[in-house]
Amino acid sequence: MVKPVIIVNLKHYRVSSGPESERFLLKFVPFVDSYDIRLIFALHPIDIRLAGQFPEMEFYAQHIDPVNYGPYTGQISSQVLMDFGIKGSLLNHSEKRVQKDKIESTVQLAKDAGLETVLCCENYSEARDFKKFETDFVAYEPPELIGGNISVSTSNPNVIRDVVNEYSGSRSLILVGAGIKSHKDYHNSLKLGAGGVLIASGIVLSDSPLQALKSLIGIDS
């Protein structure tokens, strides 16, 4: 059976990126591999090299551009991420939207490089449109719920049910994102047929990020 996936997006919060990123990740070292989940941290671009320092952990990037190595100032190729031991990347996150006509080529370059992709969508119609790209994951994240305390898995479970149905038979697994805070949000997401969740503030901004992760998956201590 496939393990539930939890992607912790470290975004560009001060506590989880740049000078603080290593300290943040160290909190999770004792936890990695202890439970039956696939735990992935999505690193800010400036922290990509950290993947080499934490070989026991799985990392994604937060964004990729439609380029290979070459004369591309400030762009991030799937190839360089692979070379740094990054397993995959988010793409088209609400905070880093990609032009619609660039999605296909970016996904293809990622596939060519062997990188997994999480294509983010903001609504049902995008979810339906994105099916053709056959990414590893499609993350359903209503932008208005990002950073809040209400998850769509609790406030509007039917839309997740619909997206999961839309993708039945497809290779892409659905992740639920935005406002995921509690075990109920996580549990509901899985019950609705999602493959996991995409979460940021509920863990990153918690006073005790490791405890927040444990509570999310229903471990008390």
Q: Which residues are catalytic?
A: 93, 141
Q: What is the three-class DSSP state of 19?
A: helix
Residue nearest to ligand G3P (CB): 201
Residue closer to ligand G3P, measured from CB, 50 or 204: 204
Nearer to ligand G3P, 66 or 142 (CB): 142
Residue 178 interacting with ligand G3P (CB under 6 A): yes
**Residue 2 carries which DSSP code?**
P
For the chain, list the strands marked E by DSSP.
5-9, 38-43, 58-61, 88-91, 116-121, 137-140, 173-177, 196-199
Question: DSSP code of 191?
Answer: H
**Can residue 121 be called a binding residue for ligand G3P (CB under 6 A)?**
no
Q: Sketch the per residue contact string, 70 through 109, with ligand G3P: x for CB under 6 A, - otherwise.
A: -----------------------x----------------
Amino acid at 217: I
| Total number of residues that touch ligand G3P (CB under 6 A) | 14
Beta strand residue intervals within 19-87, DSSP E: 38-43, 58-61
Q: Does 196 bind ligand G3P (CB under 6 A)?
A: no
- C-alpha torsion sign, points 27, 30, 36, 42: positive
Binder among 199, 212, 213, 216 for ligand G3P (CB under 6 A) = 199
Residue 218 CA, chain-centre distance (Å), reads: 20
Supply 84's token pair.
């740094």
List 179, 195, 196, 209, residue binding ligand G3P (CB under 6 A): 179
Residues that bind ligand G3P (CB under 6 A): 9, 93, 141, 146-147, 177-180, 198-202
